[in-house]
Amino acid sequence: MILTVTLNPSVDRALELDVLVRGEVLRAGDSHIDPGGKGVNVSRALLANGVRSTAVVPAGGAEGDQLVDMLKAEGVDMLAVPIAGRTRSNITLAEPDGTVTKINEAGPVLSESEFTQICEAVLTAAGSAEWVVLCGSLPPGLPIEAFTGLCERLVTAGVRVAVDSSGPALRAGVAAGAALVKPNREELAEAVGTELVALGDVLAACDKLREAGAGTVLASLGSEGAVLVDDSGVLIGAAPVSVPRSTVGAGDAMLAGFLGAGANGEAALIEGLAWGAAAVSLPGSRMPGPGDLDRTHIRIDRDPDPLRRLRRD
């Protein structure tokens, strides 16, 4: 079982537009409402492909009830922790060329007691989990020390932790010794404080995260694919998408595929790329199932310069 933790989940409404024009009255085409949040999406993708997962989510207000109802309707196993605040709602505007405009609410503030309840739920369920996946943005006002403490307690307990977040939360996961971190290009650049122009820059940044404490780094690069850096070396993968519809949740689907396939080596990277590419071809934040996956056009290359680290060191 893979346990996901989404501290700031959402209800996501996606609208498809011919073109986004500021200041105009626009008519939407198709619309979709989905449960949202990175960890929620990981659990949804795993479920859609027959991999057991449990999602831990704080939920409050009418939107929190809606989130829980949607997850139940999809058959997602969950631990919903009641909170006083209102679960946030997000809006995605998708254009035919794949351009996505996303408007995210900040989300509710968690009280100290509410965060403690979430942590206890996570630590209790972690005992039967192969992975605990901490995903997404932190709720407003949550001290980074609180998130760091959760990461450290899990790692100290011998739990394999994956972190898919940004800024201080990503750095906290790295410093705590997370077994896996999954930044995108922008999050990776922010974490190391360096612009990432070329592939060599990306690989050097992945090395820095590993030197700082992370076990494996899976970096998603959008349409350019992904890189996997671990103890065995570097793999570079690409999965072209002929008709992109929405990038929302694509990175989450990739992480789910990688974890679902064992989170190790080329086979897991291929699966992650296939799940991520399939998500891009679907509307809104729909997660792909087995019938959506196409592995035939995925290309995997090894590090073209395996002596790169030795020369730099």
Domain 2-19+28-312 - what CATH class? alpha beta
pLDDT, tens digit (0-9, with 9 covering 90-100), for 148-171 = 999 999 999 999 999 999 999 999
Q: What is the DSSP string of 64-111?
A: HHHHHHHHHHHT-EEEEEE-SSPPEEEEEEE-TTS-EEEEE---PPPP
Q: Residue 133: in which H helix or E strand, if any?
A: strand 131-135
φ, ψ dihedrals at 306, nearest 5°? -65, -15
Cβ proximity of 274 and 257 under 8 Å = yes
Let me know if 252 is a catalytic residue: yes
Q: Which of 12, 230, 252, 292 is catalytic?
A: 252
Give the tokens for residue 223.
């349409």
Q: Give pLDDT tens digits along the chain (313 positions).
A: 999 999 999 999 989 899 999 999 989 888 889 999 999 999 999 999 999 999 999 999 999 999 999 999 999 999 999 999 999 999 989 888 878 899 999 999 999 999 999 999 999 999 999 999 999 999 999 999 999 999 999 999 999 999 999 999 999 999 999 999 999 999 999 999 999 999 999 999 999 999 999 999 999 998 899 999 999 999 999 998 878 887 888 999 999 999 999 999 999 999 999 999 999 988 877 899 999 999 998 999 987 665 454 434 4
- Residues with Cβ within 8 Å of 198's Cβ and at least 6 positions away in sequence, in order, are none
Q: Of 151, 193, 188, 202, give the one whose Cα is nearest residue 173.
A: 151
pTM: 0.91
The three-state secondary structure class of 184 is strand
Cα-based torsion angle of the residue sequence 240, 245, 248, 250 in order, rounded to the nearest 10 degrees:
-30
Which residues face 273 on adjacent strands? none
Residue ranges per structural domain of the chain: 2-19+28-312
